[in-house]
Amino acid sequence: MQNTYTVSARGKQESEPISRFLRNNFGNLPLQQIDSVFGFVERSTMYGGRMFFDRQLSDSDVQELNDKGIGLRIPFTNHNIERQEYEENRALLEKYHARPNSVIVTNDDLARWVRQDFPDYSIEASVIKNITSLRKLQSALELYDTVVLPMILNYKHDFLKSIEDKDRIRLFANAGCALTCPSRICYASVSVVNKFKGGEFQCSQSLKKRELMGMVDFDIEELNALGFHRFKLLRARPGNMTGY
């Protein structure tokens, strides 16, 4: 089975053509193996994971990706989303509601609302949900189409072997600061900041003291042998780093 990858648009400017961005940052990856690109489109209070500053993917980017059979993945991974807020974002959801596009979700209520109102979206459970047990995984698979598992589980081969529906699991192909972070309080703080009502970014460790290993590349062949073929590929920052 061929590996497929979802790749990050982090660091892309809206004005940069998506074809150039992919060539410059993921040029060693055959285009036919990229199933989707995740990044920010229009401003929204439902974003999470990273702070929203500017749009990364333009309408022409999305159209070009879709023409090539590559999906847009919208990171609606904010921890806290109210029904009224969801209603306010309906126009955005409607705009990109077409296969092969998808949404990445942390909040289960949002996943249910999208499932009911926008059935053509594939819905993926974000790594932010921190699903680390078979019980949690089974519960998530009842609601989500696919689930992203935390980076650290790439080393837990007994756990990975025990998963039955491996085709619905996405593993990280590489990793940054989240691999060694003890608490990941950044995600909750970013959820607050992305409401555009204040708040500040928080990190669980001092930038000078925290353990940074640069970009860690996992053994894909080893993970293939365990039965996994869906991966998430991050873009390295200058200096081969990710995170903040």
Q: How confident is the model at residue 99 (pLDDT cuts 50, 70, 90)?
A: very high
pLDDT at 214: 65
Domains of the chain: 4-233 (3.20.20)
**3-class state of residue 224 by DSSP:** helix
CA distance linking residue 218 with residue 187, whole number of Å: 23
Long-range residue pairs from 56-63, CB within 8 A, at least 24 positions apart, any chain: 56/9, 56/10, 56/12, 56/13, 56/14, 57/9, 57/12, 57/14, 57/18, 58/14, 58/15, 58/18, 60/17, 61/14, 61/17, 61/18, 62/96, 62/101
The pLDDT tens digits of the residues spanning 142-200 come to 999 999 999 999 999 999 999 999 999 999 999 877 787 767 777 788 888 889 888 87
- Across the strands, what pairs with 217? 174
Q: What is the mean pLDDT of residues 80-86?
A: 97
State pTM to two decimals. 0.92
Between 240 and 20, name the one with better pLDDT: 20
Average pLDDT of the chain is: 91
**Confidence at 212, pLDDT banded by 50, 70, 90:** low
Task: Sort strands 146-148 and 169-172 into parallel, antiparallel or unpaired.
Answer: parallel
Which has more confidence, 197 or 238?
Answer: 197
Which DSSP category does 130 fall into?
Answer: -
Residue 208: pLDDT band (50, 70, 90) is: very low
Q: What percent of the chain has pLDDT over 90?
A: 77
Where residue 236 falls among pLDDT bands split at 50, 70, 90?
Answer: low
In tens, the pLDDT along 15-54 reads 999 999 999 999 999 999 999 999 999 999 999 999 999 9
> Which ranges of the chain does DSSP label H, i.e. alpha helix?
18-26, 59-67, 83-88, 90-95, 108-117, 134-141, 157-162, 185-193, 220-225
Q: Predicted confidence band at 206 (pLDDT cuts at 50, 70, 90)? A: low
